[in-house]
Amino acid sequence: MSDDVRLPSLSTFPRLLMHHAQVRPNHPATREKDMGIWQTWTWSQVAEEVRAMASGLAELGFKRGDNLAIIGDNRPRLYWAMCAAQCLGGVPVPLYQDAVAAEMVFVLQDAGIKFAIVEDQEQVDKLLENKAQCPELQHILYDDPRGMRHYNQPFLHGLDEVQEMGRIHNRNHPEFLDGEIEQGGAEDVAVMLYTSGTTGKPKGVCQTHGAFIKAAESGCTFDRLGPDDNILSYLPMAWVGDHLFSFAQATYAGFTINCPESGDTVMTDMREIGPSYYFAPPRVFENLLTQVMIRMEDAGAIKRKLFHYFMGVARRCGAEILDGKPVSGADRLRYALGNLLVYGPLRNVLGMSRIRVAYTAGAAIGPDLFRFYRSIGVNLKQLYGSTETCAAVCLQPDGQIKFDTVGPPAPGVEVKIADSGEVLVRGEVLLKEYYKRPDATAESIDAQGYFHTGDAGFFDEDGHLKIIDRAKDVGKLANGAMFAPNYIENKLKFFSHIKEAVVFGDGKDEVCAFINIDMGAVGNWAERRNIAYSGYTDLAQKAEVYDLIRDCVEKANAELTHDTMLADSQVHRFLILHKELDPDDDELTRTRKVRRGFIAEKYGVLIAALYSGKTSQFIETEVKFEDGRKGKVSADLRILEVKTFPSQAAKKAA
Amino acid sequence: MSNGRQIGEVILDLQNISLRFGGVKALTDISFDVREHEIRAIIGPNGAGKSSMLNVINGVYHPQEGTIVFRGQKRHDMNTHEAAEAGFARTFQNIALFKGMSVLDNLMTGRNLKMKSNFLLQALYWGPAQREELEHRRKVEEIIDFLEIEHIRKTPVGRLPYGLQKRVELGRALASEPNILLLDEPMAGMNVEEKQDMCRFVLDVNDQFGTTIVLIEHDMGVVMDISDRVVVLDYGKKIGDGTPDEVKNNPDVIAAYLGTAH
The residue with greater pLDDT, B61 or A480, is B61
What would the mean pLDDT of A69-85 be, rounded to a whole number?
97
Helix (H) or strand (E) holding B260: none
pLDDT along chain B (262 residues), means of 10: 65 92 90 94 89 90 91 84 88 87 93 76 77 89 92 92 91 92 90 88 90 90 90 91 90 80 60
Would an 8 Å CB–CB cutoff place A9 in contact with chain B?
A: no
Chain A residues touching residue B208 (CB < 8 angstroms):
147, 149
- Which strand ranges, in their side-by-side order, compose the sheet holding A451-459? A413-417, A422-427, A451-459, A465-470
Residue A47's domain spans which residues?
2-277
Q: Of A148, A141, A118, A133, which Cα lies nearest the Cα of A58?
A: A141
Beta carbons of B1 and B34 less than 8 angstroms apart: no
Contact assignment for A264 to B153 by CB distance below 8 Å: no
Helix H or strand E encompassing A476: strand A475-476
Using alpha carbons, list the distances in angstroms from residue A66 to A62, A315, A495, B74, B98.
7, 53, 47, 65, 55
Pair A31, A146 in one domain: yes
Q: Residue A651 has what pLDDT?
A: 53
CATH code, domain with A558: 3.30.300.30
A354 and A261 inside one domain: no
Residues A353 and A412 both lie in one domain: yes
Nearest chain B residue (CA) to A625: B193
Does position A565 have pLDDT exceeding 90, yes or no? no
A221 touches chain B (CB under 8 A): no
Q: Is residue A447 part of a domain?
A: no
Q: Are residues A91 and A175 in the same domain?
A: yes
User: In the prediction, which pLDDT does A6 show?
Assistant: 36
Q: Give the C-alpha separation, A401 to B101, whole Å.
A: 46
Report whether A259 contacts A233 (CB < 8 A). Answer: yes
Question: For residues A483 and A510, is the Cβ–Cβ distance under 8 A?
Answer: no
Q: Which residues make Cβ contacts (< 8 Å) with residue A48, sequence separation at least 6?
A: A21
pLDDT level of residue A514 (50, 70, 90 thresholds): very high
Contact between residue A566 and residue A482 where contact means Cβ atoms under 8 Å apart: yes
pLDDT at residue A308, as a whole number: 93
Q: In the predicted model, what is the mean pLDDT of residues A154-178?
A: 96
H helix runs in A447-518, sequence order = 485-493
Residue of A nearest to B208 (CA): A147
Residue A125 pLDDT exceeds 90: yes
pLDDT at A625 over 80: no
- Among the residue ranges A28-37, A41-50, A160-169, B73-82, the one predicted with the least confidence is B73-82
- Report if residue A182 sits inside a domain: yes
Of A277, A301, A320, the domain-final residue? A277
- The verdict on A39 touching B (C-beta cutoff 8 Å) is no
Q: Is residue A460 situated within a structural domain?
A: no
Cα A643 from Cα A553, distance rounded (Å): 9
Show residues of chain A in contact with B203, CB under 8 Å.
none
CB atoms within 10 A of CB A374: 21
Question: Same domain for A480 and A617?
Answer: yes
Residue B143 distance to chain A (closest CA, Å): 9
**A296 in the same domain as A237:** no
Q: Based on the domain organization, do A361 and A485 belong to the same domain? A: no
Instruction: Report yes or no: A149 at the B interface, CB cutoff 8 Å.
Output: yes
Contact residues, chain B, for A37 at CB < 8 Å: 141
Confidence of residue A648 (pLDDT cuts 50, 70, 90): low
What pLDDT, on a 0 to 100 scale, did the predictor assign at position A628?
67
Average pLDDT value over all residues in chain A: 90
The nearest CA of chain B is from the CA of A505 a distance in Å of 40
Residue A315 lies in a domain: yes
Look at residue A357 and tell me if it is in a domain.
Answer: yes
Tell if the CB–CB gap between B204 and A147 is shorter than 8 Å.
Answer: yes
Cα B31 from chain centre: 19
pLDDT for A627:
67
Residues of A in Cβ contact (< 8 Å) with B144 = 35-36
- Would you say A222 and A412 are in contact if contact means Cβ atoms under 8 Å apart? no
A422 with A520, same domain: the answer is no
Largest CA distance in chain A: 87
Write down the pLDDT at residue A471. Answer: 82
Q: Of A224, A248, A277, at which residue does a domain stop?
A: A277
Q: How far is A122 from chain B (nearest CA, A)?
A: 13
- Determine the pLDDT at residue A563: 67
Condensed to tens digits (0 to 9), the pLDDT of residues A379-425 reads: 999 999 999 999 889 999 988 888 778 999 998 899 998 887 789 99
Report chain A residues whose CB lies below 8 A from the CB of B207. Answer: 149
Q: With beta carbons under 8 A apart, name residues in chain A contacting B148.
A: 262
**Closest-CA distance of chain A to residue B150, Å:** 7
Look at strands B212-216 and B180-184 and give their pairing: parallel
Q: What is the pLDDT of residue A160?
A: 96
What is the rounded CA–CA span in Å between residue B154 and residue B102?
5
Selected for mutation to probe chain B from A32, A34, A35 (highest B CB count within 10 Å) is A35
Cα atoms found within 13 Å of the Cα of residue B181, Cβ hemisphere only: 29
CB atoms B150 and A149 under 8 Å = no
Assess whether pLDDT exceeds 50 at residue A2: no
User: Residue A36 and residue B151: Cβ atoms within 8 Å?
Assistant: no
Antiparallel, parallel or unpaired: β A413-417 and A422-427: antiparallel
Question: CA nearest B142 in A: which residue?
Answer: A35
Q: Which residues of B touch A264 (CB under 8 A)?
A: 150-151
Q: Is the CB of residue A135 less than 8 Å away from at least one CB of chain B? A: no
Contact A36 B204 (CB under 8 A): no
**Residue of B5, B143, B151 to mutate, interface with A, max A Cβ within 10 Å:** B151
ipTM over 0.85: no
Could you tell me how many helices (H) and strands (E) chain A has, helices first? 24, 27
Residues A253 and A328 in one domain: no
User: What pLDDT sits at residue A457?
Assistant: 82
Does any CB of chain B come closer than 8 Å to the CB of residue A265? yes
Q: CB-CB: which of B138, B151, B204 is closest to A262? A: B151
pLDDT (0 to 100) of residue B132: 85
- Write down how long chain B is: 262
Q: Residue A35: which of B138, B154, B204 has the nearest Cβ? A: B138
Three-state secondary structure call for residue A208: strand
* A420 and A485 assigned to the same domain: no
pLDDT at A1 over 70: no
3-state percent helix, strand, coil for chain B, nearest multiple of 5? 40, 25, 35
A39 and A60 inside one domain: yes
- Of the candidates B137, B151, B154, the beta carbon closest to that of A264 is on B151
- Domain stop point among A219, A251, A277: A277
Separation in Å, CA of B146 to nearest CA in chain A: 9
Q: What was the pLDDT predicted at B252?
A: 87
In chain B, the domains with their CATH numbers are 1-87+178-262 (3.40.50.300), 98-176 (no CATH)
Q: Do B148 and A262 touch (CB under 8 A)?
A: yes
pLDDT of A64 reads 95
pLDDT, position B2: 38
At A146, the pLDDT band (50, 70, 90 cuts) reads confident
Helix axes of A13-23 and A76-87: crossing angle, nearest 10 degrees: 110
Sign of the alpha-carbon dihedral angle for A369, A373, A376, A379? negative
Q: Which of A146, A149, A264 sits opposite B4 (nearest CB)?
A: A149
Question: Alpha carbon A405 to chain centroid distance?
Answer: 18
pLDDT-above-90 percentage for chain A: 63
In A142-189, which ranges are continuous DSSP H helix? 159-172, 176-183
Contact, A271 vs A278, CB < 8 A? no
Nearest C-alpha neighbor of A157 from the set A128, A117, A192, A108: A117
Q: Which residues of B touch A534 (CB under 8 A)?
A: none
Is A545 part of a structural domain of the chain? Answer: yes
Residue B150 and residue A264: Cβ atoms within 8 Å?
yes
pLDDT at res. B112: 81
CATH code for the domain of A55: 3.40.50.12780
Let me know whether A227 and A309 are in one domain: no
Which of B142, B150, B208 shows the shortest C-beta gap to A261?
A: B150
In B, minimum Cα distance to A267 occurs at B151
Residue A298 has pLDDT above 90, yes or no: no
Q: Which residues contact B74 (CB under 8 A, 6 or more apart)?
A: B67, B68
- Give the closest residue to B50 by CA, choosing from B39, B42, B41, B58: B42
Asked whether residue A598 is domain-assigned, the answer is yes
Using the Cβ of A264 and the Cβ atoms of chain B, whether some distance falls under 8 Å is answered with yes
pLDDT, tens only, A528-538: 899 998 889 89
Question: Distance from A266 to chain B by nearest Cα, in Å?
Answer: 9
For residue A466, the cross-strand partners are A458
Chains A, B: CB contacts under 8 A, how many?
28
Count of domains forming chain A: 3
Residue A449 forms part of a structural domain: no
Positions of E strands within chain B:
10-21, 24-35, 39-43, 65-70, 73-74, 88-91, 180-184, 212-216, 229-234, 237-242
What are the tens digits of pLDDT across the range A359-379?
998 777 877 788 899 999 999
What is the percent of chain A with per-residue pLDDT over 70, rounded to a whole number? Answer: 96
